[in-house]
A and B are shown apart, each in its own frame.
Chain A
């Protein structure tokens, strides 16, 4: 299986502190992966590198069938290549309606000129309606997203991610602050998405990871400590020492 994203030998330091140390990571085109690890293990920095927010000191980040190097590309360009990211804190455009948020995220041309002359067509509106249904916000389309509850904002952000139709989804703690029922819903959305694209979930909550039922990568001090099924990694002595045993 050829990898969709291949990160190899990446290192980055901040003021002498090695946030990522010779990290290598691969994911296929339709795969779900959970990344776990204690605070400061480099999970968020890893996402920053893939999305172009942070430049690594060395290493390679290769993307897609065309083997494009993502290093040196702007964040916007990487996003247009098909990498979507959800932040830990829900960030939606609170001043704008749910529909406007979704329309902005909808996969389309991103240049200023085409956006200036853009008017939503029926296909796009139908797509927005579908997405709204999937994230349970059909009745809230015209509401300002700032009026939504925290959980609804989380879902709106997930909806915006899906609207982008990315080939790779990077999701940072999607279930934070949700009730069990909401978590189950989130799990469903993510597993459904992973059938057609790659999904990387960063999560603290073991129970949530177990429900995703996917391969797990454990990060520790900026490099991969263990990789495999959840049962496999939780049986690993080192993993228990640095993470689970605490």
Chain B
């Protein structure tokens, strides 16, 4: 018996190789460390794309493998961003405050420093005190732990309530979407301690590294994002390649049957939902320092829907499909909406892609779902000539003379 579980080791090796080659190429072409062919802002775009690919993997695990269409994973992504953003903003403001108070005739007390930081951060929402949730903002380690813990705990509590009551299918999707909407509405409030719709800004400035140019920082983040994506991919491959993956796909295809085999389906869903939420949080924590700003609009339900669209277009149920979908659609999307795509004059009307891109995206989503349910990843099956047989109308038994399918219908 050569292999028990189908391990697509070849695709993993190819993926990691391509990721490495991509990272090296971009590094040598970047402004910060090489030829300067690729602008710093585009290096950031590429680095952000790698983070989006990571969150797409987490979405693929939850949706493509276990069949849970979560419309909340981008909220977990955003929460990760907020958690790291709190430290970045606090620490950076503290540096500025300490420098400006250094010239004062009397050295400032810690309380004065703290008040000054709070004033600078929260002045915009008319407050000058640190809210409770900023208690750990001065500690990088604590905030890094919160990057994983906050999405994890939220997903854990939400998942426990939802899965325990056997909410599944489209109802679960609606519920996750409601959670996302509630979270983003909460974040929009000015008095919640996270600066309301102003969000957190200036995140691209790393505390203590003010002298390092952004050109270099952008490459560092590209490396970090590539490393996280590589590790996340390996972890995901390991999770889905064994019996755990077998159970997950079983849950996707026939939940009841898995239950009658003795597997606690709800626990599996909860573990996966929570684990992927943590993964999304990490992706977000790497994304927003590159974006420089995070505000509640990032967590809006539409973002999570986009995530589902990426995975669907890339190909559900295969990890590289999710990566391809996220990278392809988000890059194409930023090209169209960034005003770089040329307008199409039709004489009577001019198609401006900024307005029409969403229509194109929606249309291609519908077309992919209807005509190519395997997405872009399905093209690789065509290359390998892997086809699913059409069993309809076949004999029911292995012998000649068995009933045929049509005959057995009751």
Contact = CB atoms under 8 A, between A and B. Distances in A.
A in complex with B: yes
Interface of A: 51, 53, 74-77, 79-80, 84-85, 87, 91, 93-97, 99-100, 103-105, 110-112, 115-116, 118-120, 125, 129, 136, 141-142, 144, 146-147, 149-152, 160, 164, 176-179, 181-182
B262 A110 contact: yes
Given A118-B242, A151-B397, A176-B408, A75 B250 contact: no
A190 to B, nearest CB: 17
A116 B245 CA distance: 8
Contacts, number: 135
Q: Which 3 A-B pairs have the closest CB atoms?
A: A151-B397, A150-B396, A79-B262
B142 interface: no
Contact of B243 (A80, A97, A115, A164): A115
A150 B395 contact: yes
B350 interface: no
Contact of B264 (A74, A94, A100, A119): A74
B267 to A, nearest CB: 6
Given A100-B5, A112-B267, A151 B250 contact: no
B249 A96 contact: yes
Contact of A118 (B244, B253, B259, B265): B244
A115 B244 contact: yes
A39 to B, nearest CB: 9
Contacts of B257: 87, 91, 93
Most buried by A among B261, B403, B405: B261
Interface of B: 1, 3-6, 239, 242-244, 246-247, 249-250, 253-254, 256-257, 259-265, 267-268, 271, 388-389, 391, 394-399, 401-403, 405, 408
A143 B137 CA distance: 54
Given A111-B267, A146-B388, A181 B399 contact: yes
Nearest to A122: B1
Given A76-B259, A110-B263, A176-B408, A116 B250 contact: no
15 contacts: A76-B260, A77-B262, A93-B250, A104-B243, A111-B267, A116-B242, A116-B244, A125-B4, A147-B391, A149-B394, A151-B397, A177-B402, A177-B403, A178-B396, A179-B397
A100 B5 CA distance: 7
A127 B246 CA distance: 18
A93 B262 contact: no
A179 B399 contact: yes
Contact of A147 (B262, B264, B389): B389
A75 B396 contact: no
Contact of B268 (A112, A149, A151): A112
Contacts of B399: 151, 179, 181-182
A85 B259 CA distance: 11
B402 A51 contact: no
A103 B397 contact: no
Given A111-B264, A118-B242, A181-B399, 15 more contacts: A76-B260, A77-B264, A93-B254, A100-B6, A100-B246, A104-B247, A115-B242, A116-B244, A129-B1, A136-B398, A146-B389, A149-B402, A179-B401, A182-B399, A182-B402
Given A51-B260, A176-B408, A150 B244 contact: no
Contacts of B244: 112, 115-116, 118
Contacts of A87: 257
A108 to B, nearest CB: 9
Contacts of B271: 112
A110 B391 CA distance: 32
A119 B268 CA distance: 18
A125 B1 contact: yes
A179 B1 contact: no
Contacts of B394: 149-150
A76 B249 contact: no
A161 B27 CA distance: 55
Nearest to B389: A147
A14 to B, nearest CB: 18
B261 A105 contact: yes
B253 to A, nearest CB: 6
B373 to A, nearest CB: 13
Nearest to B267: A112
Contacts of B408: 150, 176-177
A152 B398 contact: yes
A208 to B, nearest CB: 14
Contacts of B242: 115-116, 118-119
A82 to B, nearest CB: 9
B19 to A, nearest CB: 25
Nearest to B264: A76
A85 B389 CA distance: 28
Contact of A96 (B250, B388, B398, B402): B250
Contacts of A116: 239, 242, 244
A193 B315 CA distance: 43
Nearest to A163: B261
Given A125-B4, A179-B399, A96 B264 contact: no
A53 B257 CA distance: 11
A52 to B, nearest CB: 9
A105 B403 CA distance: 28
